Amino acid sequence: MKHTPLILLCTLTILIGVVQGQTNEKPYIGRYGHNDGVCLFADGQFLLYGYATAVFGRYTLKDDKILFYPHRRDLFEVYGHRNPQIEGEQSRWQFIGFEEGATFAQFDQDSIQRVFNADANCFTYPYITNRTQQVKHITLMDQAEDSSTFETYRFANTAAYNDFVLVYNKINEEHHDFVGRLEDNVLKLSNYGGDTGYVKQEEDTEWDELLQFKAQYEQATVYRDHSYMDDRTQLQYDKVPQQKDSTHPSVPSPFAKSTIFHAVCDDSITTFE
Protein backbone atom coordinates (compact mmCIF):
# COMPACT_ATOMS: atom_id res chain seq x y z
CA MET A 1 0.00 0.00 0.00
CA LYS A 2 2.95 2.33 0.60
CA HIS A 3 3.71 2.18 -3.13
CA THR A 4 0.19 3.26 -4.18
CA PRO A 5 0.91 7.05 -4.34
CA LEU A 6 4.04 6.38 -6.39
CA ILE A 7 2.12 4.14 -8.79
CA LEU A 8 -0.63 6.74 -9.17
CA LEU A 9 1.95 9.46 -9.79
CA CYS A 10 3.65 7.38 -12.49
CA THR A 11 0.29 6.56 -14.11
CA LEU A 12 -0.72 10.23 -14.10
CA THR A 13 2.61 11.22 -15.62
CA ILE A 14 2.15 8.68 -18.42
CA LEU A 15 -1.41 9.85 -19.13
CA ILE A 16 -0.31 13.49 -19.28
CA GLY A 17 2.45 12.51 -21.68
CA VAL A 18 -0.04 10.65 -23.90
CA VAL A 19 -2.43 13.62 -23.97
CA GLN A 20 0.37 16.03 -24.75
CA GLY A 21 1.62 13.70 -27.46
CA GLN A 22 -1.86 13.58 -29.00
CA THR A 23 -2.15 17.37 -28.83
CA ASN A 24 1.24 17.93 -30.46
CA GLU A 25 0.98 15.06 -32.91
CA LYS A 26 0.13 17.52 -35.70
CA PRO A 27 1.30 20.92 -34.45
CA TYR A 28 0.89 22.45 -37.90
CA ILE A 29 -2.92 22.08 -37.79
CA GLY A 30 -4.68 25.44 -37.69
CA ARG A 31 -5.36 28.67 -39.49
CA TYR A 32 -2.66 30.72 -41.15
CA GLY A 33 -3.54 34.29 -42.04
CA HIS A 34 -6.50 36.50 -41.20
CA ASN A 35 -8.58 38.05 -43.98
CA ASP A 36 -6.92 35.67 -46.42
CA GLY A 37 -4.81 32.59 -45.90
CA VAL A 38 -4.94 28.82 -45.48
CA CYS A 39 -6.52 26.44 -42.98
CA LEU A 40 -4.86 23.06 -42.44
CA PHE A 41 -7.27 20.46 -41.09
CA ALA A 42 -6.35 17.29 -39.21
CA ASP A 43 -7.82 14.96 -41.88
CA GLY A 44 -5.41 16.12 -44.57
CA GLN A 45 -7.78 18.67 -46.09
CA PHE A 46 -7.14 22.39 -46.49
CA LEU A 47 -9.05 25.58 -47.24
CA LEU A 48 -7.51 28.38 -49.27
CA TYR A 49 -9.59 31.49 -48.57
CA GLY A 50 -9.64 35.18 -49.38
CA TYR A 51 -11.75 37.80 -51.11
CA ALA A 52 -14.34 35.92 -53.23
CA THR A 53 -12.20 32.78 -52.81
CA ALA A 54 -12.87 29.55 -50.94
CA VAL A 55 -11.07 26.52 -52.38
CA PHE A 56 -10.85 23.20 -50.57
CA GLY A 57 -8.40 20.44 -51.33
CA ARG A 58 -6.02 17.93 -49.83
CA TYR A 59 -2.41 18.30 -48.74
CA THR A 60 0.46 15.95 -48.04
CA LEU A 61 3.77 16.39 -46.22
CA LYS A 62 6.93 15.59 -48.15
CA ASP A 63 10.32 16.30 -46.60
CA ASP A 64 10.18 19.95 -45.51
CA LYS A 65 7.39 20.86 -47.94
CA ILE A 66 3.60 20.78 -47.94
CA LEU A 67 2.10 19.79 -51.29
CA PHE A 68 -1.36 21.24 -51.96
CA TYR A 69 -3.85 19.69 -54.40
CA PRO A 70 -7.01 21.83 -54.78
CA HIS A 71 -10.27 20.06 -55.53
CA ARG A 72 -11.23 20.44 -59.18
CA ARG A 73 -14.57 19.38 -60.55
CA ASP A 74 -14.85 18.15 -64.12
CA LEU A 75 -14.64 21.01 -66.59
CA PHE A 76 -18.19 20.22 -67.76
CA GLU A 77 -21.03 18.50 -65.92
CA VAL A 78 -24.46 17.57 -67.25
CA TYR A 79 -27.57 16.88 -65.17
CA GLY A 80 -30.91 15.66 -66.50
CA HIS A 81 -34.54 15.33 -65.43
CA ARG A 82 -37.69 13.89 -66.97
CA ASN A 83 -40.04 16.85 -66.84
CA PRO A 84 -43.69 15.92 -67.56
CA GLN A 85 -44.53 19.58 -68.17
CA ILE A 86 -42.38 19.61 -71.31
CA GLU A 87 -44.47 18.27 -74.16
CA GLY A 88 -43.59 16.00 -77.05
CA GLU A 89 -40.01 15.83 -78.27
CA GLN A 90 -39.10 19.23 -76.88
CA SER A 91 -36.32 19.76 -74.36
CA ARG A 92 -35.09 22.58 -72.13
CA TRP A 93 -31.44 23.47 -71.52
CA GLN A 94 -30.07 25.70 -68.78
CA PHE A 95 -26.43 26.83 -69.07
CA ILE A 96 -24.55 27.73 -65.88
CA GLY A 97 -21.09 29.30 -65.84
CA PHE A 98 -20.55 29.18 -69.61
CA GLU A 99 -20.06 32.94 -69.76
CA GLU A 100 -16.78 32.45 -67.88
CA GLY A 101 -14.91 31.10 -70.90
CA ALA A 102 -14.86 30.40 -74.63
CA THR A 103 -17.32 27.51 -74.50
CA PHE A 104 -19.10 25.61 -77.25
CA ALA A 105 -21.96 23.10 -77.49
CA GLN A 106 -23.13 20.56 -80.04
CA PHE A 107 -26.38 18.58 -79.93
CA ASP A 108 -26.31 15.30 -81.85
CA GLN A 109 -24.97 16.09 -85.35
CA ASP A 110 -26.00 19.75 -85.41
CA SER A 111 -23.40 22.43 -86.04
CA ILE A 112 -21.16 23.38 -83.14
CA GLN A 113 -22.22 26.68 -81.59
CA ARG A 114 -20.36 29.01 -79.30
CA VAL A 115 -22.49 29.41 -76.17
CA PHE A 116 -21.88 33.16 -75.65
CA ASN A 117 -20.62 35.84 -77.99
CA ALA A 118 -17.04 37.01 -77.53
CA ASP A 119 -16.65 39.81 -74.95
CA ALA A 120 -20.14 39.13 -73.62
CA ASN A 121 -21.29 41.33 -70.74
CA CYS A 122 -24.37 42.62 -68.90
CA PHE A 123 -25.66 39.14 -68.13
CA THR A 124 -29.26 38.41 -67.16
CA TYR A 125 -29.76 35.02 -65.52
CA PRO A 126 -30.87 32.30 -65.96
CA TYR A 127 -29.76 31.35 -69.46
CA ILE A 128 -32.19 28.80 -70.88
CA THR A 129 -32.82 27.64 -74.42
CA ASN A 130 -35.33 25.16 -75.84
CA ARG A 131 -35.05 22.61 -78.60
CA THR A 132 -37.83 21.03 -80.63
CA GLN A 133 -36.17 17.64 -81.11
CA GLN A 134 -35.06 15.05 -78.60
CA VAL A 135 -31.29 15.05 -78.06
CA LYS A 136 -29.34 11.82 -77.65
CA HIS A 137 -25.76 13.08 -77.63
CA ILE A 138 -24.29 16.20 -76.03
CA THR A 139 -20.82 17.55 -76.80
CA LEU A 140 -19.34 20.42 -74.78
CA MET A 141 -16.05 22.15 -75.56
CA ASP A 142 -13.76 24.71 -73.97
CA GLN A 143 -11.07 26.71 -75.73
CA ALA A 144 -8.38 27.86 -73.33
CA GLU A 145 -7.31 31.49 -73.50
CA ASP A 146 -4.65 32.15 -76.15
CA SER A 147 -4.85 28.53 -77.27
CA SER A 148 -6.00 26.80 -80.45
CA THR A 149 -6.86 23.54 -78.68
CA PHE A 150 -10.32 22.48 -77.55
CA GLU A 151 -11.05 20.35 -74.49
CA THR A 152 -14.02 18.20 -75.48
CA TYR A 153 -16.45 16.33 -73.24
CA ARG A 154 -19.15 13.99 -74.53
CA PHE A 155 -22.32 12.79 -72.83
CA ALA A 156 -25.08 10.37 -73.88
CA ASN A 157 -28.72 10.94 -72.93
CA THR A 158 -29.46 7.25 -72.36
CA ALA A 159 -32.16 8.03 -69.77
CA ALA A 160 -34.21 10.07 -72.27
CA TYR A 161 -34.18 13.24 -70.17
CA ASN A 162 -35.89 16.32 -71.57
CA ASP A 163 -34.82 18.93 -69.01
CA PHE A 164 -31.11 19.64 -68.56
CA VAL A 165 -28.67 21.70 -66.52
CA LEU A 166 -25.24 22.12 -68.12
CA VAL A 167 -22.45 23.38 -65.86
CA TYR A 168 -19.07 24.81 -66.81
CA ASN A 169 -16.51 24.77 -63.99
CA LYS A 170 -13.81 27.21 -65.01
CA ILE A 171 -10.35 26.32 -63.72
CA ASN A 172 -8.92 29.46 -62.12
CA GLU A 173 -5.43 30.11 -60.81
CA GLU A 174 -6.38 29.01 -57.30
CA HIS A 175 -7.34 25.56 -58.62
CA HIS A 176 -3.79 24.75 -59.70
CA ASP A 177 -1.50 22.71 -57.44
CA PHE A 178 0.94 24.65 -55.28
CA VAL A 179 3.63 24.11 -52.66
CA GLY A 180 4.10 25.44 -49.13
CA ARG A 181 6.82 25.50 -46.51
CA LEU A 182 6.56 26.06 -42.76
CA GLU A 183 9.10 28.37 -41.17
CA ASP A 184 8.37 28.32 -37.43
CA ASN A 185 4.77 29.60 -37.23
CA VAL A 186 4.73 31.10 -40.73
CA LEU A 187 3.36 29.27 -43.78
CA LYS A 188 4.88 30.43 -47.07
CA LEU A 189 3.24 29.41 -50.34
CA SER A 190 4.58 29.26 -53.87
CA ASN A 191 1.78 31.38 -55.33
CA TYR A 192 0.06 33.25 -52.47
CA GLY A 193 0.99 35.37 -49.49
CA GLY A 194 4.10 36.97 -50.95
CA ASP A 195 7.47 36.75 -49.23
CA THR A 196 6.02 37.30 -45.76
CA GLY A 197 3.64 34.33 -45.89
CA TYR A 198 0.84 33.69 -43.42
CA VAL A 199 1.30 33.72 -39.64
CA LYS A 200 -0.47 30.99 -37.65
CA GLN A 201 -3.28 32.09 -35.34
CA GLU A 202 -2.53 30.43 -32.03
CA GLU A 203 -6.03 31.12 -30.67
CA ASP A 204 -8.66 31.04 -33.39
CA THR A 205 -12.15 31.85 -32.12
CA GLU A 206 -13.62 31.06 -35.56
CA TRP A 207 -12.17 27.55 -35.89
CA ASP A 208 -15.45 25.80 -35.04
CA GLU A 209 -17.23 27.86 -37.70
CA LEU A 210 -14.58 26.88 -40.23
CA LEU A 211 -15.10 23.21 -39.37
CA GLN A 212 -18.84 23.63 -39.91
CA PHE A 213 -18.20 25.33 -43.25
CA LYS A 214 -15.94 22.44 -44.23
CA ALA A 215 -18.62 19.89 -43.28
CA GLN A 216 -21.23 21.75 -45.34
CA TYR A 217 -18.90 21.82 -48.33
CA GLU A 218 -18.21 18.09 -48.09
CA GLN A 219 -21.93 17.34 -47.88
CA ALA A 220 -22.69 19.55 -50.88
CA THR A 221 -19.85 17.94 -52.86
CA VAL A 222 -21.18 14.44 -52.25
CA TYR A 223 -24.66 15.56 -53.32
CA ARG A 224 -23.44 17.27 -56.48
CA ASP A 225 -21.49 14.17 -57.48
CA HIS A 226 -24.88 12.57 -58.11
CA SER A 227 -27.50 15.31 -58.34
CA TYR A 228 -28.16 19.00 -58.85
CA MET A 229 -30.92 20.99 -57.18
CA ASP A 230 -32.22 24.03 -59.03
CA ASP A 231 -32.95 26.56 -56.29
CA ARG A 232 -35.22 28.51 -58.62
CA THR A 233 -37.53 25.66 -59.63
CA GLN A 234 -36.77 23.22 -56.79
CA LEU A 235 -36.33 20.47 -59.38
CA GLN A 236 -33.73 17.77 -58.78
CA TYR A 237 -31.58 16.70 -61.71
CA ASP A 238 -29.59 13.47 -61.92
CA LYS A 239 -26.01 13.50 -63.12
CA VAL A 240 -25.45 12.28 -66.68
CA PRO A 241 -22.27 10.16 -66.86
CA GLN A 242 -19.50 11.43 -69.06
CA GLN A 243 -18.63 9.17 -71.98
CA LYS A 244 -15.14 10.44 -72.75
CA ASP A 245 -13.05 13.56 -73.14
CA SER A 246 -10.39 14.54 -75.63
CA THR A 247 -8.32 17.43 -76.95
CA HIS A 248 -8.61 18.78 -80.48
CA PRO A 249 -5.75 20.88 -81.91
CA SER A 250 -7.97 23.12 -84.04
CA VAL A 251 -11.54 24.30 -84.47
CA PRO A 252 -13.84 21.30 -84.97
CA SER A 253 -16.29 21.38 -87.84
CA PRO A 254 -19.02 22.07 -88.77
CA PHE A 255 -18.92 25.37 -86.89
CA ALA A 256 -21.97 27.68 -86.75
CA LYS A 257 -21.66 31.45 -87.09
CA SER A 258 -24.43 32.15 -84.59
CA THR A 259 -24.12 31.79 -80.81
CA ILE A 260 -26.65 30.19 -78.50
CA PHE A 261 -26.85 33.34 -76.34
CA HIS A 262 -26.01 36.95 -77.10
CA ALA A 263 -25.27 39.23 -74.14
CA VAL A 264 -24.26 42.85 -74.72
CA CYS A 265 -24.94 45.97 -72.64
CA ASP A 266 -27.93 47.98 -73.89
CA ASP A 267 -28.89 45.09 -76.13
CA SER A 268 -31.43 42.33 -75.83
CA ILE A 269 -30.43 38.76 -75.09
CA THR A 270 -31.25 36.55 -78.03
CA THR A 271 -31.69 32.82 -77.75
CA PHE A 272 -31.08 30.80 -80.90
CA GLU A 273 -32.90 27.51 -81.17
Which pTM value belongs to this model? 0.81
Distance CA 273, CA 261 (A): 10
- 61-109 pLDDT tens trace: 999 999 999 999 999 999 999 999 999 999 999 999 999 999 999 999 9
pLDDT in tens, 23-69: 457 889 999 999 999 999 999 999 999 998 999 999 999 999 999 99
Q: In order of start, what are the domains of the chain with their CATH numbers?
A: 27-72+173-223 (2.40.128), 76-169+229-271 (no CATH)
Q: Does 16 have pLDDT greater than 80?
A: no
- Pairing, β 163-168 against β 91-96: parallel
Q: How many CB atoms lie within 10 A of CB 68?
A: 23
List C-alpha distances in Å: 269 to 22, 100, 113, 118, 226.
Answer: 60, 17, 16, 14, 32
Q: Mean pLDDT throughout 235-241? A: 96
User: Is residue 186 pLDDT above 70, yes or no?
Assistant: yes
Q: Are 37 and 193 in contact (CB under 8 A)?
A: yes
Share of residues in the chain with pLDDT > 90 (%):
72
